[in-house]
Amino acid sequence: MNAEVEALLRDAAQRAIAYVGAVRDRPVAVSAEALQGLEAFRHPLPETGVDAREVLRLLDESGSPATVATAGGRFFGLVVGGALPATVAANWLATAWDQNACFRHTSPVAATLEDVSLQWMARMFGLPADVGGAFVTGASMANFAALAAARHALLSRLGWDVEAQGLYGAPEIRVIVSEETHVTVGKALALLGLGRQRVTVVPTDRHGRMQVSRLPALDDRTIVCIQAGNVNTGAFDPADEVCRMARQAGAWVHVDGAFGLWALASDKFDTRTQGIALADSWATDGHKWLNVPYDSGIVLVRDAAALRAAMSLNAAYLAQDGAEQREPSHYTPESSRRARGVEIWAALLHLGRQGVAGLVERTCGYARVFAQGLQAAGFEVLNEVALNQVLVSFGSPAVTAAVIERLQEEGICWCGGTVWQGRTAMRISVSSWATTEADVQASLQAMVRAAKKTVDGRTY
């Protein structure tokens, strides 16, 4: 290899190693100084190029300090994890491979690792071995792809080819969601021409679970969207009841399990996860609880043919699909794609089924520690902490907002705000492999300190 290329890649590895080594101990939020440093990037495109080492130096010196420390153990926003070292390493190698995962012939290795990962996940989640699936950018796209498969299946049963004819003049199908359905499901419905607002909305209970008693009669022209893991409370919709009713009626059930689906790896959550495997399609994220690099989502569809019919580039491509081998491009919204299945495979192999279960159980345990600690300090926890999500109120909306701001500024940990059933709350999502008991204790102390300082203005 050219010595310059080798020096460049070693430099990149060293800088990344230094970053990863320091990220756990630095403030989670970006400092004002680091934000100011981003101005270094704002100059006109140069006429002539800059040496690659210099490009990397600029990226590291001005860019690294302006990252949010989501890769550390004390970022509790957005239900996202941090990338496991095994997946960062696999990602580096796969980036060097520069594979186009579109077709099996453009990357046999990417296609094979997708096959294997899909089988492993199907097994771990208790889904049929021949479930169809694809590796997409996130749960948003996974919801989109799954609902496209649902739209195809329902309309083709009614004799309508939606991929060819669109929705003009199509028989009507009905979509049922809950009050608590994630915004990305609404967006997927909008993109699919099914309409964000043209839905039947079922009320939820105080945990954010769909009230099954309020579900309208189902039929075979209906898609029911449920969720495994409410983004605020972590609650699961009653999948068992919904899926049984839907089965009888011939309706399609889609599960948004962006983070919650991973709880299926553990038997500790059986009462809540029961019935999820009876659904017709599932969306989940790799970059949340599985802790792989962005961007990484997975769509799974019981009837693989429905996903394929919805996603194929065109009928001519279908002919190339071998009887034995899955052609990745037939199942994804994208054509050219990075080989993100590599990291999913690496995470699953590195952790094993028990490791995934352990990660989920450990982070849920930390959520309970947060809840107990905050309650003991006199603050109100608004949700039943049954998973990895904690909602805490520090008093009035203004006080809670001020505590969040103080906490973020201080930088020991990072939590965002939310409004839960009319109450302003701070949301703690524990999803990262990197979070330790010490991180939890330090963060809990920081929360209590920030809250007390805000509430009575004193310093502790």
Q: Which residues bind ligand PLP (CB under 6 A)?
A: 79, 138-140, 182, 184, 227, 229, 231, 256, 258-259, 285, 297
Return d(Cα 116, Cα 135) in angstroms, integer: 12
Nearer to ligand PLP, 182 or 308 (CB): 182
Task: Specify which residues 101 forms β-bridges with.
Answer: none
Nearer to ligand PLP, 81 or 275 (CB): 81
Taking the complex as a whole, the smallest distance from the CB of residue 241 to ligand PLP amounts, in Å, to 20
Return d(Cα 460, Cα 451) in angstroms, integer: 10
Taking the complex as a whole, the smallest distance from the CB of residue 296 to ligand PLP amounts, in Å, to 8
Return d(Cα 206, Cα 331) in angstroms, integer: 37
Nearer to ligand PLP, 290 or 444 (CB): 290
Nearer to ligand PLP, 117 or 227 (CB): 227
Q: Give the list of residues 6+ apart from residue 113 with CB closer than 8 angstroms, or none.
A: 339, 341, 342, 344, 345
Residue showing the smallest CB distance to ligand PLP in the complex: 138
Return d(Cα 281, Cα 300) in angstroms, integer: 6
Taking the complex as a whole, the smallest distance from the CB of residue 141 to ligand PLP amounts, in Å, to 7
Taking the complex as a whole, the smallest distance from the CB of residue 84 to ligand PLP amounts, in Å, to 17
Tokens of residue 313, six digits = 């580039």
SS3 per-residue string spanning 231-284: CCCCCECCHHHHHHHHHHHCCEEEEECCCHHHHHHCHHHHHHHCCHHHCCEEEE
Tokens of residue 97, six digits = 């491979």
Of 367, 347, 320, the closest CA to residue 103 belongs to 320
Taking the complex as a whole, the smallest distance from the CB of residue 229 to ligand PLP amounts, in Å, to 6
Taking the complex as a whole, the smallest distance from the CB of residue 212 to ligand PLP amounts, in Å, to 19
Q: How far is CA 342 from the centre of its chain?
A: 17
Nearer to ligand PLP, 107 or 432 (CB): 432
Nearer to ligand PLP, 265 or 444 (CB): 265
Nearer to ligand PLP, 107 or 230 (CB): 230
Taking the complex as a whole, the smallest distance from the CB of residue 344 to ligand PLP amounts, in Å, to 14
Nearer to ligand PLP, 296 or 454 (CB): 296
Rounded to 5°, angle at Cα 49 from 48 and 53: 150
Tokens of residue 139, six digits = 């749960």
Phi, psi (deg, nearest 5) at residue 279: -70, 180
Taking the complex as a whole, the smallest distance from the CB of residue 284 to ligand PLP amounts, in Å, to 9
